[in-house]
Amino acid sequence: MSNSDQAEPTAATDAPVLTEANDEQSDHYRAQGPDRAPNKGSDATPEHVTIVAKAYNKRRSCKIIVDSSSDLAPEVIKRLGVEVIPYHYVGPQGERVDDLWENGDPHEFYEFMRKNPDARFTTMAITPGTYAGVFERALGDGLPILYLCLSEGLSSSINSARQAADMVQASHAGAEIYILDNKCDSAAGELLLMEVCRQAAAGLTAREVYEWAQDARYFIHGYFTLDSLHWLALGGRIPPAAAQVGAKLDVKPELSYDINGSLTLRGMYRGRKKAMRAIIQDFHDNYAHDTSLPLAIVSSDANKDADWLEAQVRKEKGCEDLAVIRSSVSPILGSHVGPGMVALVFWGTDRREQLSLTDRIAHRIRDGRSVSRS
């Protein structure tokens, strides 16, 4: 049997279409200090992206694989040298591949959504056959495999990954394949990936890295707001009437994710600025104050609001030169949140401490089931 977490199955997510890339318009990924902008030219990788990536790109104890749902910064991914399994989705222009905006422009993509508010998009879950092919090829490197999968709170793909791992291990005696539910969505998965790479290069075995990540994933926080509740309603995640009332009253939500990786509502605010201030307050209350770790800001074509969040973060004592990874929300998640989403993701306090006493007991039982499957 494969080594994996235990959680309740849920349906896969939906998503839209990519158009041609436009480097001048796109919100390309960057990790930077307050006055460091992306370089233009043949290598548009900012200095701090290179510095951050080099710190993690070393020989590792295992082959690390992720999927495209973590809103990954392409420049960082290239330098980490990890394999990314892309999600596929279907929209008005047919089937497309989520290639981390390599052949598409996020501004054009989200502008299409603004102009076509009734457009429908669906995600194609990653199949066991796709996973099996990736795992088979990865074993050729002679290393154990660790796959960081989109939270089961949002997608059922992890069940296909577990099935594929079992099939591959049945034909490869002694093969180590670890399947981890990252339980943290969007760019939070990217922060987890970066530290997993570092731990794998720091002397931990594949099994130890897996166990480290099982605990570490609960220390990553993510808070975000939306420009409109319309897209959540269109995807069936909230009642249409709630979205209509929210639009009339200019109500903006602050959302996060729970310890299972499922979306959770933290509060409703009259006006976007109040929702964004709530995000900064959660950063102030929960940040770990470890400036050796980067944080991430991700948006769906909301660059000005992302700039505002970064400026507020840098006002915190000790955060003036903090490495900030900026990225655009992928089509996979963007189809649910729509244009105008902005999020702040960082390492912080243990999210499990926010559980009630009875929920902590239930969580320990679920963790016990997970260990018994390993």
243/317 same-domain check: yes
End-to-end CA distance of the chain: 8
194/235 same-domain check: no
Give ∠ CA 267-240-261 in degrees, rounded to 5. 50
Could you tell me whether strands 63-67 and 145-149 are parallel, antiparallel, or unpaired per DSSP bridges? Answer: parallel
76/175 same-domain check: yes
Whether 192 maps to a domain, the answer reads yes
Cα–Cα nearest to 89, from 334, 278, 287: 334
Cα–Cα nearest to 131, from 161, 152, 159, 156: 161
Last-in-domain residue among 193, 218, 243 = 218
Residue span of the structural domain in which 11 resides: 3-218
Whether 359 maps to a domain, the answer reads no
Could you tell me whether strands 295-299 and 30-32 are parallel, antiparallel, or unpaired per DSSP bridges? Answer: unpaired
79/195 same-domain check: yes
201/280 same-domain check: no
238/327 same-domain check: yes
Kindly report the backbone phi and psi dihedral angles of residue 295, in degrees, each rounded to the nearest multiple of 5, phi listed first: -115, 175
pLDDT given for residue 143 in this prediction: 95
pLDDT given for residue 13 in this prediction: 35
Give ∠ CA 54-57-59 in degrees, rounded to 5. 140
Q: For the whole model, what pTM was predicted? A: 0.82
Quote the tokens at residue 340.
């105008």
CA distance 247 to 314: 32
CA distance 287 to 346: 7
Last-in-domain residue among 218, 242, 262 = 218
195/255 same-domain check: no
CA distance 259 to 308: 28
pLDDT given for residue 242 in this prediction: 63
pLDDT given for residue 134 in this prediction: 97
pLDDT given for residue 368 in this prediction: 60
Whether 161 maps to a domain, the answer reads yes
Per residue in 8-47, pLDDT (tens digit) is 333 333 332 222 233 333 333 334 443 333 333 334 445 5
138/279 same-domain check: no
pLDDT given for residue 62 in this prediction: 95
Number of structural domains the chain divides into: 2
pLDDT given for residue 358 in this prediction: 65
CATH code, domain with 300? 3.30.1180.10
Last-in-domain residue among 183, 218, 253 = 218
Per residue in 269-312, pLDDT (tens digit) is 999 999 999 999 999 999 999 999 999 999 999 999 999 999 99
* Ranges in the chain, pLDDT < 50: 1, 5-45, 371-372, 374
Whether 363 maps to a domain, the answer reads no
CA distance 285 to 370: 30
46/135 same-domain check: yes
CATH code, domain with 83? 3.40.50.10170
Per residue in 40-68, pLDDT (tens digit) is 333 444 555 555 555 566 788 999 999 99
